[in-house]
Structure 1
Amino acid sequence: MAQFSCQICDSEFKSYNKNAKYCSQKCKGKAYIKHSIKKCKICRKEYKPIRATSKFCSLKCC
Structure 2
Amino acid sequence: MKNRIKILRAEHDLTQAQLADKMYVSRQTINAIEKGKFDPSLPLAFRLSELFGKPIEEIFQWEIE
Q: TM-score, normalised by structure 1?
A: 0.23
Greater RCO, CA 8 A, separation 6+: 2
More strand per residue: 1
Q: TM-score, normalised by structure 2?
A: 0.22
More helix per residue: 2
